Structure 1
Amino acid sequence: MTNRYAIVLAAGQGTRMKSKLYKVLHPVCGKPMVEHVIDQVSTLGLHKIVTVIGFGADLVQSLIGERSQYSLQEEQLGTAHAVMQASSLLEGEKGTTLIICGDTPLIRAETMEALLMHHEKLGAKASILTAYAKDPTGYGRIIRESNGDVLRIVEHKDATDEERMVQEINTGTYCFDNESLFQALKQVSNENVQGEYYLPDVIEILKNAGDTVSAYQTEQFEETLGVNDRVALSQAEAFMKDRVNRKHMVNGVTIIDPSNTYISADTMIGADTVIYPGTMITGKSIIGSDSILGPNTEIRDCQIGNNTIIRQSVAHNSSIGDHVAIGPFAHIRPESEIMDNVKIGNFVEVKKAVFGKGSKASHLSYIGDALIGSDVNLGCGSITVNYDGKKKYLTTIEDGAFIGCNSNLIAPVTVGKNAYVAAGSTINKDIPGGSLAIARARQVNKENYASRLTSKE
């Protein structure tokens, strides 16, 4: 089998984005554009992937890591110049090289594979990925010969009226015979208005040498979308959102209103889970089966089990078990572990805490930096007082304990197994298992005192 390589162009700053963030790092459905491309390319079983980096080089490299080798384009002098930077890693290698831009997040591995197969079957020296555009304005047109080979690429501004009627456009993704590519790159000139070296010029050089140049047309124009500004970014987001939601629905997830449901590209969801409108699931979240999420719920980087319900709530970077009920209006903050059969009710905030099986905090509580055992009941208004202004301390509540309403547990403190805390108590000492702790002032009734206050007015 022919050796295959890929060059991912990710060096541009993207001035039209008008952003401090480098263009290829802008996210689409929660993942940077260039990472979408690398993820798809990485499934093709290539011998070598080279990413050409420039602006934001360190950030791009730290994101992609060891999935690619790197070449640095110190000056952005055009796409052909960018490809030349990979010469130290690829020049002289026999095989096929795929060239793709890092700002095309929608392109699929299946389309890249189809282009490679088409290119190798024809024995072409170059193959262009093309698409049919309803409105091709601004795109380079593919002018074919009668046998289907590419005659030339004509930029919109240079096209005749007849050529502008052509709706097959150049997407900017190519396959080349690797040796021919680097030989032709040495002939590319920068004698143009921008003074840059353009990769499409390689097509003309190979054509003039009598080599075969072919084109493969993808059926889905939207997957070839290149993102150069915020308008195109929003379009890519919409296309990707639709693709992601459709994938989950095909796999058995019910999404009540896909247009108002946002799911990141890396999220996994089990069958028969139902997602209500206004729900956002971001990061690398994993959702089990038969769960209910939403409406108006935000999940980020969470693992959620089966048969769990989360309504009108927020959960970040936490683990949530099976048969859990959360919300409405609960906040599960990072590093929390909610085990099976737990109830976290309305206006409860949990932060860096473990909730054992069957425990519940039904309403109006703050539980932070805490280790909660199994079958614990936290009454309304329970608070773990864990911060003294300098350090945070752990509150431990052992299995079967009952915390009465409006109780403050001042950490570090331990409530023993099956212990009770009387309502309204402020606890600052450990409670032995099986004990009842009462820490509140004794009630004093002063008869007729209220009427005396009233008479003074």
Structure 2
Amino acid sequence: MSILILAAGQGTRMRSSRPKVLQPLAGRPLLRHVVDCARQIDAADICVVYGHGGDQVQAAFAADGLRWALQAEQLGTGHAVMQAMPETADDNRVLVLFGDVPLLRPQTLERLLNECGADDLGVLTVDVSNPHGYGRIVRENGRVVRNVEEKDANDSERLIKEVNSGVMCAPARKFKAWLERLGNDNSQGEYYLTDVIAMAVADGTEVHGIKADSVEELMGINDRRQLAEAERALQRRLVGELMAAGVGFADPSRVDIRGTLRCGQDVFIDVNAVFEGDVVVGDNVVIETGNLIRDSRLGAGTVVHANCHIEQSEVGDECEIGPYARLRPGTKLAEQVKIGNFVEVKKSNIAHASKVNHLSYIGDAEIGSGVNVGAGTITCNYDGANKHRTTIGDGAFIGSGVNLVAPVEVGSGATIGAGSTVSKPVPADQLTVARARQMTVPGWKKPQKTS
């Protein structure tokens, strides 16, 4: 099997410096969706035909081990396939896909391949209510005999509802013979790949028109409006799969999954939640409204209150996050940790049942179990050139408004009085207070505005 993915188009209607096949859909390039689909077919060879913005496209997929074929001039789909055929083995079966048709499912392609004989031509089609602009599939006595493009169709052909997706499969040897005979005598002056249908019929090759289950699966992306429509269609599919697996959503239309979301049992997700990258959510997790969770793990029974930002973090079981909390990369929370409102944690480990409840910043820290961090406490981890770590032992109590000037260590069971600035080791099980002496300045007057 050789899979040829046509991805050379400029996509001028996108009005973007980014090649069309690199436009993002659910957080990944359009072409990534097609390549990932192709990977699930048993293919020995995947070739991408590239053109406009080729350097960007190749760079984005440099690690994928793909074969590349340059289409320097965009002279139609038939011409695009011609560029890939010289290095395609004659004995291979060829499947043609499109880099701007990202919603195709592997199951549909498997059905096309299985229902079409190995020596026949298979064409993926679909019935649409408004076929304007599409190539029509012309059948005689139920058999596919040709494809006719909109601009070349007569009045009766324009009434046909079955249209051609462009996705097709056939033996490479036959494809090469048909492509050699392909002409561009049409209104566009292009080499239409779909013209091989009539050639196959003339050669006595059976043509199978296999209908896809839905129009959405064959959506092509040419402009921003179609990209947005495809985004919603894909989100419906992804959320539908999760609901079928038992995940609860307050409103399935107001959740975005831009990557992979894996959920345990009895998970509930409220509106306007966004998941990016690889996210794993344990059993009985509740995610309230307005959260962004990226490349993170949430343990069973955890509650994420409204409007939190969690990135590259690991959250243990039965934790409580937010509202309005931020977990930055490198954060690891053990079980039953509480991170409260307007708290930011970065590159820190917080052990069992510790609490950072209000308006605090914890960066580059190692916090033991059962620690209470008071409101407004910060770890002063940056000296202007380097980052330094703060270590807080089990059971310590840090009062409100404390500055911990790293590197510094707080012993187990220690208490630090509110308003202290601590830059030296704090002994275990002792009260430490570090405040300047309070004083009142006689005769001091408030500054006045100058006119």
The normalised TM-score by structure 2 is 0.93
Q: Secondary structure at the match of 1:283?
A: strand
Deviates more, 1:425-434 or 1:188-197: 188-197
Letter in 1 for 2:114: M
Could you say which residue in structure 1 is the equivalent of 2:129? 134
Could you say if the C-alpha distance between residues 74 and 411 of structure 1 is closer, same or farther in structure 2, counting changes exceeding 3 Å? farther
Deviation string 1:360-404 (CA, Å, 9 cap, x unpaired) is 101110112222222221101111112233322222222222211
Deviation at 1:82, TM superposition (A): 1.9
Deviation at 1:334, TM superposition (A): 1.9
Contact kept in structure 2, 1:285 and 1:299, CA below 8 Å: yes
Identity score, percent: 42
**Aligned: 1:33 with 2:30:** yes
Match of 1:101 among 98, 103, 110: 98
The CA distance in 1 between the partners of 2:359 and 2:395, in whole Å, is: 20
Contact kept in structure 2, 1:132 and 1:219, CA below 8 Å: no
**Aligned: 1:118 with 2:115:** yes
Could you say which residue in structure 2 is the equivalent of 1:13? 10
The CA distance in 2 between the partners of 1:317 and 1:219, in whole Å, is: 38
The CA distance in 1 between the partners of 2:295 and 2:252, in whole Å, is: 20
Could you say which residue in structure 2 is the equivalent of 1:358? 353
Letter in 2 for 1:168: E
Deviation at 1:307, TM superposition (A): 0.8
Could you say which residue in structure 1 is the equivalent of 2:449? none
The CA distance in 1 between the partners of 2:148 and 2:195, in whole Å, is: 11
The CA distance in 1 between the partners of 2:172 and 2:23, in whole Å, is: 30
Q: Secondary structure at the match of 2:413?
A: coil
Deviation string 1:60-98 (CA, Å, 9 cap, x unpaired) is 344442353332333333222222222243142x14211
Contact kept in structure 1, 2:151 and 2:187, CA below 8 Å: no
Q: Secondary structure at the match of 2:33?
A: helix
Contact kept in structure 2, 1:407 and 1:426, CA below 8 Å: yes
Could you say if the C-alpha distance between residues 168 and 114 of structure 1 is closer, same or farther in structure 2, counting changes exceeding 3 Å? same
Could you say which residue in structure 1 is the equivalent of 2:246? 252
Letter in 2 for 1:17: M
Letter in 1 for 2:87: L
Q: Secondary structure at the match of 1:80?
A: helix
Matches within 5 A, 1:72-83: 72-83=70-81
Could you say which residue in structure 2 is the equivalent of 1:153? 147
Matches within 5 A, 1:238-317: 238-312=232-306, 313-317=308-312
RMSD over aligned Cα, in angstroms?
2.1
**Aligned: 1:414 with 2:385:** no
Could you say which residue in structure 2 is the equivalent of 1:402? 397
Deviation string 1:337-382 (CA, Å, 9 cap, x unpaired) is 2222110001111122222222110111011222222222110111
Q: Secondary structure at the match of 1:86?
A: helix
Contact kept in structure 2, 1:35 and 1:63, CA below 8 Å: no
Deviation at 1:46, TM superposition (A): 1.8
Deviation at 1:433, TM superposition (A): 2.9
The CA distance in 1 between the partners of 2:344 and 2:33, in whole Å, is: 34
Contact kept in structure 1, 2:259 and 2:275, CA below 8 Å: no
Letter in 1 for 2:251: D
Deviation at 1:331, TM superposition (A): 1.1
Match of 2:368 among 362, 369, 373: 373
Deviation at 1:453, TM superposition (A): 7.2
Q: Secondary structure at the match of 1:44?
A: coil
Could you say which residue in structure 2 is the equivalent of 1:23? 20
Match of 1:201 among 186, 195, 200: 195
Q: Secondary structure at the match of 1:285?
A: strand
Match of 2:182 among 181, 188, 197: 188
The CA distance in 1 between the partners of 2:179 and 2:426, in whole Å, is: 78
Deviates more, 1:110-119 or 1:255-264: 255-264
Contact kept in structure 2, 1:10 and 1:54, CA below 8 Å: yes
Letter in 2 for 1:167: K
Matches within 5 A, 1:222-241: 222-241=216-235
Contact kept in structure 2, 1:5 and 1:49, CA below 8 Å: yes
Letter in 2 for 1:295: T
Deviation string 1:304-328 (CA, Å, 9 cap, x unpaired) is 1111111121111211111110011
Could you say which residue in structure 1 is the equivalent of 2:386? 391
Number of aligned pairs?
444
Deviation at 1:28, TM superposition (A): 1.6
Deviation at 1:418, TM superposition (A): 2.2
Contact kept in structure 1, 2:146 and 2:195, CA below 8 Å: no
The normalised TM-score by structure 1 is 0.92
Q: Secondary structure at the match of 1:130?
A: strand
The CA distance in 1 between the partners of 2:378 and 2:97, in whole Å, is: 55
> What runs of 5+ residues in structure 1 fail to find an aligned partner?
none
Deviation string 1:125-181 (CA, Å, 9 cap, x unpaired) is x221000001111111000111x2211111112212211111000111111111111
Deviation at 1:58, TM superposition (A): 4.2
Contact kept in structure 2, 1:401 and 1:419, CA below 8 Å: yes
The CA distance in 2 between the partners of 1:418 and 1:59, in whole Å, is: 56
**Aligned: 1:53 with 2:50:** yes
Could you say which residue in structure 2 is the equivalent of 1:85? 83
Deviation string 1:33-64 (CA, Å, 9 cap, x unpaired) is 11111212211222222222233434434444
Deviation at 1:212, TM superposition (A): 2.2
**Aligned: 1:425 with 2:420:** yes
Q: Secondary structure at the match of 2:232?
A: helix
Deviates more, 1:244-253 or 1:436-445: 436-445
Could you say if the C-alpha distance between residues 453 and 192 of structure 1 is closer, same or farther in structure 2, counting changes exceeding 3 Å? closer
